[in-house]
Structure 1
Amino acid sequence: YRIHNEVLLDRSFDFSTEFIGKTFLFYFLIYFINRLDFFNRYKNLENELNQAKGQLLRNQLHPHFLFNAFNSLYSMSLKNSPDTPNTILKLSGMMRYLTDDSTNKRVKLTQELKFIEEYIAIEKIRFGDQATIKLSINGIAEGKNIEPLLLITLVENAFKHGFYINHQDAFVSINITCKNHIILFKVENSILDKQHFNITNRKGKGIESLKKRLALSYPKKHNLVLQHNNNIYSANLEINLG
C-alpha cells in the first residue's frame, strides 16, 4: 500500500487480508449457489424417477386385471348368463379408469372405491348369489386423494385364493373405514384345505409390487400386516393420506 512513495507494510497486510477474505466469500457464495442448484435438480430427477417407478408398478396390474376379467366373462358366456351385457358395461367403465385416471399420481378416493365396488360386482355375478362376498365402506371418503390402483391388489388376491374352488365355505370379506386422513383397509378370505397351494405362494408379484408402491408413495405413512390364522387369510393396511 503506497502513499507518497512510502510503503506502509501494516496497511498492505490489512488490504491483502481484506481482499483475500472477500474473494473467498465470493467464491464460496458461487459454490453454494451451484450446489443448491444441483441439489434441486437432483430432487426433481429423483421425484420423476419415483413417479416413473410408480407408473411402471401400476401398469403391471393391467394385464393381470384383464386376465381375471375376461376369465369372468368367459365363465358367464358358457352359462349364457343374462348379466353378461351389464358386466361388459361395467368392465368398460373400469377400463376407462385404468387407461385414463390411473395415469395420474393421485386420484380421488371415491373413484378408487367405486372401481373396487364394480370389480366386486363383477365377481359376484361370476360366482353367483350363493357366494359369500361382503363389502363394507364406513366413514367419509370425499375430499381425500390416494395413489390409484393401490387397494385392488389385496382384493384380487382375496378372490384368487378365497374362491380358488367353488366351495360352500369360501368367502371374501372387505371392510374399508375412512377416518380423518386415515384409511383402514381390511380384507379377509377363506383358505380351503383342498387348494393345492400353501400360504407362502401368497408372497407373489402382486404383494411385492404393492409393498414397493407403498414405500414410494407413503414412506413412513403406512402399515401392512398379513396374517394366516385358522384357515383365514387377512390383510390389514393402514395409510395416512394426509
Structure 2
Amino acid sequence: MNKMDQKVIELRQEIKSKSPLIHNMTNVVVTNFTANGLYALGASPVMAYAKEEVEDMAGIAAGVVLNIGTLTAEQVEAMLLAGKAANRKGVPVFLDPVGAGATPYRTDASRRLLEELEITFLRGNLGEISNLTGEQIEMKGVDSKDTRENAAEIAKKAARMFGTNVVITGETDVVTDGDSVYSVFNGTPELTKVTGTGCLLTSVLASFCAVGSDNLLEAAVCALGFYGIAAETAAGQSSGPGSFQISFLDQLGTIEDNKLKQNFRSKKEE
C-alpha cells in the first residue's frame, strides 16, 4: 500500500462534497457521455461554446477542458478566449489534442493552443503527444497505431517542450512534469471499445486537480487510478460494450473505497 491509496479516496470525497464546476469545450461525439460521467463522479459539468460567453464561464469554473475532437476554426478562437480568461483567473486548463497527427490542421491547432495558453495538463495517447513533439507516429483516424515502450521519454519531452504537465494514456498511463514520472497500471481494454472514454478521462482529471491543487501530479495519478479501477470493476460486471458503458457510469459514482484501496496500482519511477 502507498499513500496514493488513501489520497484517491480523499480526493474522490472532496469532489463529491465540493462538486467543482468543470467547463467543457468538447466534441459533439462525447458531450452527453462526458456530462453524465462528471455527474456520476460528483462534479458539475457545463458545456459552453459561444464566443460571447466562454470567457465568463471559464472565469467561474474550477477547471477548463479544451477538446479538439470535432474541430472548427470558430471553436479554436473560442477556446483561445476561454483559455486566456482562465489563465487570468488562475483556473487550470486541460488540453485534449484528439487526433493530433492525423491531419496538419489538428496538429497545428493543438500547437497553437499550447503556445498561446498556459496549459496545466496535456492529456492524450502516445501517438497524439508524440506527433505534437515532432515524433512521427502513424494515426488511424483519431487513434494511435503506435505501441512503443517509450511513453515516459515522450511525455517528458512534451512536458519540457511545452512547459506543462503531461499525461499519456495507454496500457500503462504515464504522468510527468518533465522531471518526476509516475506510472499507473489500472484500466481495461474495454475502455477502447466505447467512444469518449479518453475525453471523459480528461474531464475527470480536471475534477481531481480542482480539489487536489496542492500536488497536481499526485492528483492526476489518483484520477487515473480511480478511473481505471472503476473501468476494471465495470468490465467484470458487463457482457459487452453497451452494458460496460452503463456499468462504468455506475462505478464512477458508487465504487467502494475498499476496492480503490485494494486495487490501486501506481509507481513513482526513479
Asked if TM exceeds 0.5, the reply is no
TM-score, length basis structure 2: 0.27
Q: Which structure carries more strand by proportion? A: 1
TM-score, length basis structure 1: 0.29
Q: Which has the higher contact order (CA 8 A, sep 6+)?
A: 2
CA radius of gyration, larger in: 1
